[in-house]
Amino acid sequence: MSNEPHGLARNASNYGDRELALYLRRSFAASMGYSRDALSRRTVGIADTASDLNNCHRSIPDLIEAVKRGVMLEGGLPLAFPTVSLCEPSLTPCSMHFRNLMALDTEAMVSAQPLDSVVLVGGCDKTVPAQLMAAISADVPAVMLVTGPMSANRYMGERLAACTDCRRFWSQYRAGNVSAERIAVIEEQLAATAGTCGVMGTASTMACVVAALGFMPLEGASAPAVHADRLRIAEAAGRLCMSKTLRRPSEVMSLKALENGMRVILALGGSTNAVVHLAAIAGRAGLEFDLKRFDAMSDETPVLVDLKPTGDGYMEDFHYAGGMRALLWELRDLLHLDATDYEGRTLGERIGAEAPWVDRAYIRARETPVSAVGGLVTLYGSLAPDGAILKRSAATPSLFEHEAECLVFDGLEDLAARIDGDDLPVTPNTILILKNAGPLSPYGMPEAGHLPIPQKLARAGVKDMVRMSDCRMSGTAYGTVVLHIAPEAAAGGPLALVESGDRVRLSIKNRSLDLLVDEATLAARRARWSPRARPARGWDRLVHDQVLQAPRGADLRFLTASGE
Ligand code: FES
C-alpha cells in the first residue's frame, strides 16, 4: 500500500512547517463541524458547476447529494467545491472563449486541494471538455458525471427539445411562416425539463465521447437528466472514486482511446464542435487529433444513430434504444476493444459478449445505416491549408460540389448589419463567407458559422446555401456549412484575403476548399493586411497571446502537454 499522504494530509499548504500546515488545515476544517474521524478519511472532490446562469446544470445540487452518498457509503469524505461554470447562451462574446479558463481553473483546484480523487460534474457544451482537459492535465484519478439530456416536451402534437427545434422555428419565423405571437409561446416550450440540449448536439456528443474514452460508465452518457437512473449513476460515481484501483487520466487516455472517440463522433453523426474539443483533450495528453486520419475513418464509419439534427429522434430515444452499449456493439469491429477505462476494464469487456437489446428505430444495424459514411469530413485547399470541417450528414447533397462567387462578411457586426438588406447582392448560388470570427478574433470562435439565410431568400423558400467561416456551428444546427477554416483570418490565413466577388470552390468528393484567385492579386491583398491589436489586459490578452488554431483544439499553447 502506498505511503503517500491521503485525504487532508495531501497537498499541504507551504508555510515551511508541514505539521503546522496540517494542524491549521484540520483546525479550520473542524470549524465546519467535521469530526476527527471524518477528517481522517480519504477525500473525494466534487467539482460543482451549479450556477443560476446555467440552466443545463440546474440538477447538479441533487447529483452532488447522490455523489456524496456514494462516497460516504464507501467510507470517504466528499468535498464539493465550486469552479467556473459555462452555459452556452449566457456568455459574451461566447462560451468557447472561456472553455480554457474553466479548464485552467478546474485543473488548478483539482491539483492544489487535498483530494485523493475527483468527480467532475458538468453537462453543457464547454463544461465537459473543459473538465476532462483539466483532469488530464492535473492527472488526479477522476470520474466524469454529466447532468444528462433534457426530456422532449409535447407541444401541439409535436415533440420539442432544444435546440434543433429552436433553429427550425426561428428559420420559419425569419421566413415569415411563424408569427411573433407563436414564436413567443414556443420560446417557453423548447426546453421543458432540467438537462442539456435534447438532441445530438455538442453536449450529447461529448458525453458519448467521454464514455467511449473510458472516463464515464456507458449508460452515463445518455440517461435522461430527470430519470432516477441519473441519480444512481451519480451515486456510483461517488463509490467509484473511493476505489483504490481508480486510474489516473494518463492511464486511460491513449491513442486507441482517442481513435475510439473519433469513431464515435462519426457514427453518432455528432457535433462538429466535438472535433475541436477532442483535439484539445488529445493535446492535453500529448496526442494528436489527426484530421486526415479522421477523414479516412469517416469513409469507413457509417452513421448509425438517427437523432436530430441529422435524423429524427431525441437523446432520450437513444438512451431507451440501448444507448452507447448498443452503438458500440454495432461498431465493435471498427473499435480498439483493448483500450481501457478508469478501472482498467477493456472496451470489449464494457460492451459485453452478448448482443444488447436495441431499438432499430434509433440505433441502426450496420446493414441499414442512416448514412453509409461518417457524418463529418475534413477539407483542405488554398482557402484552408490547415483544414476545415463540414458535417455532410446535415448538409444538402446537391450543394456537395459547388463553385460560385462569394459574398464576404467581415465579423459579426457586419453580418448583422447587412444580411437582411433588400439590396444584398445575393442569389441562392452565392457562397456566404464570414471571416474574422475564429479563436484569435475578438469573438472567440462563436457558434456563428451557421449564417442565416438572407431574409429575402428565406422568404422565397431557400432553405440552404453554402456557408463558410473560421468559427463554429452549434451541434444542433444543420446545412451545407464549412467550419473551422484554418489558419483563421485573424491569424492571417488565406481567409483574411477573400473579398466579395471572388470565386470559391467546394468539393466534398475531392475534400477540397479552394479560393480561385491568382497569386499576384492575393500578394497585393496580403501586403495590405494587418493583425488585430493586442488586447490591453486580462483573459482576452492571454487568449490572444496563447490560443492555438482549431486543428489543435483552440487550446492555449502553454496548457498543452508540451507547452508548445
Ligand atoms: Fe447547455 Fe445546449 S445550452 S447543452
What pLDDT is stored for residue 4 in this prediction?
Answer: 83
User: Of 350, 306, 147, whose CA–CA distance to 237 is shortest?
Assistant: 147
Handedness of CA 317, 322, 324, 328 (dihedral sign): negative
Determine if ligand 1 sits within 6 Å of the CB of residue 88: yes
pLDDT of residue 313: 95
Mutate which of 54, 99, 196 for ligand 1 pocket (most atoms within 8 A of beta carbon):
196
User: Cα separation of 30 and 5, whole Å?
Assistant: 19
Q: Is 153 in the pocket of ligand 1 (CB under 6 A)?
A: no
Grid cell digits, residue 333: 469491429
Instruction: Give the pLDDT of residue 474.
Output: 87
Task: Give the Å distance between the CA of 306 and the centre of ligand 1.
Answer: 20
One pLDDT digit (tens) per residue for the chain, 564 residues: 467 899 999 999 999 999 999 999 999 999 999 999 999 999 999 999 999 999 999 999 999 999 999 999 999 999 999 999 999 999 999 999 999 999 999 999 999 999 999 999 999 999 999 999 999 999 999 999 999 999 999 999 999 998 888 988 998 998 899 999 999 999 999 999 999 999 999 999 999 999 999 999 999 999 999 999 999 999 999 999 999 999 999 999 999 999 999 999 999 999 999 999 999 999 999 999 999 999 999 999 999 999 998 889 999 999 999 999 999 999 999 999 999 999 999 999 999 999 999 999 999 999 999 999 998 999 999 999 999 999 998 899 999 999 999 999 999 999 999 999 999 999 999 999 999 999 999 999 999 999 999 999 999 999 999 999 999 998 878 899 999 999 999 999 999 999 999 999 999 999 999 999 999 999 999 999 999 999 999 999 999 999 999 999 999 999 999 999
CA 11 to ligand 1 centroid distance, Å: 35
Question: What is d(CA 219, CA 82) in angstroms, rounded to the nearest whole number?
Answer: 26
Cα–chain center distance at 263: 15
Edge-to-edge strands, sheet with 77-82 = 77-82, 43-48, 117-122, 142-146
Give the Å distance between the CA of 172 and the centre of ligand 1.
22
DSSP 132: H
Indicate the Cα dihedral angle 296, 388, 528, 502, nearest 10°.
90
**Pocket of ligand 1, candidates 53, 88, 277: which has the most ligand atoms within 8 Å of its Cβ, to mutate?**
88
Count of Cβ atoms closer than 10 Å to residue 17 Cβ:
12
Question: Which atom from ligand 1 is nearest to the alpha carbon of 87?
Answer: 1
With a 6 Å cutoff on the Cβ, whether 124 touches ligand 1 is: yes
The boundaries of every CATH 3.40.50.2300 domain in the chain are: 41-151+193-351
Query: Helices (DSSP H) in 249-398: which residue ranges?
Result: 249-252, 255-268, 273-284, 291-300, 315-320, 323-331, 347-351
Strand-strand pairing, 384-391 and 376-381: antiparallel
Q: Phi/psi of residue 397, each to 5°?
A: -55, -35
Cell of 328: 458500440
Class of CATH domain 376-531: alpha beta
Cβ-proximal residues to 354 (8 Å cutoff; 6+ apart), any chain: none
Distance (Å, whole) CA 221 – CA 184: 32
What Cα–Cα distance (Å) separates residue 61 from each residue in 204, 231, 362, 518? 20, 11, 31, 59
Looking at the CA of residue 204, tell me the nearest atom of ligand 1. 4
- What's the whole-model pTM score? 0.97
Task: State whether the beta carbon of 190 lies less than 6 angstroms from ligand 1.
Answer: no
CA 280 to chain centroid = 10
For the chain, residues classed under CATH 3.50.30.80 are 376-531
Q: Would you give the DSSP letter of residue 276?
A: H
Please name the residue whose Cα sits nearest to atom 1 of ligand 1.
124
Residues in the chain: 564
CA 412 to chain centre: 22
425 C-alpha vs ligand 1 centroid, how far in Å? 35
pLDDT at residue number 2: 61
Dist CA 453 CA 466 (whole Å):
10
Question: HSE of 337 in the Cβ direction (CA atoms, 13 Å)?
Answer: 14
Say how many Å lie between the CA of residue 287 and the centre of ligand 1.
28
- Which residues contact residue 228 at a Cβ distance below 8 angstroms, ignoring those fewer than 6 apart? none
Whose Cα sits closest to atom 2 in ligand 1? Answer: 197
Q: What is the pLDDT of residue 1?
A: 43
259: CA distance to ligand 1 center in Å? 25
Q: Is the CB of 125 under 6 A from ligand 1?
A: yes
469 CA distance to ligand 1 middle (Å): 22
Give just the sign of the alpha carbon dihedral 321, 322, 324, 329: negative
- The answer to whether 161 and 191 are in contact (CB under 8 A) is yes
Cα 87 to averaged position of ligand 1 atoms, centre (Å) = 7
Collapsed DSSP state (helix, strand, coil) of residue 564:
coil
* Distance from residue 131's CA to the centre of ligand 1 (Å): 16
Which of 70, 242, 213, 64 lies closest to 133, judged by CA? Answer: 213
Tell me which CATH homologous superfamily contains domain 41-151+193-351. Response regulator (3.40.50.2300)
Exposed/middle/buried for residue 185 (C-beta within 10 Å: 0-12, 13-18, 19+): exposed
CA 287 to chain centre: 18
Indicate whether residue 197 lines ligand 1 (CB < 6 A): yes
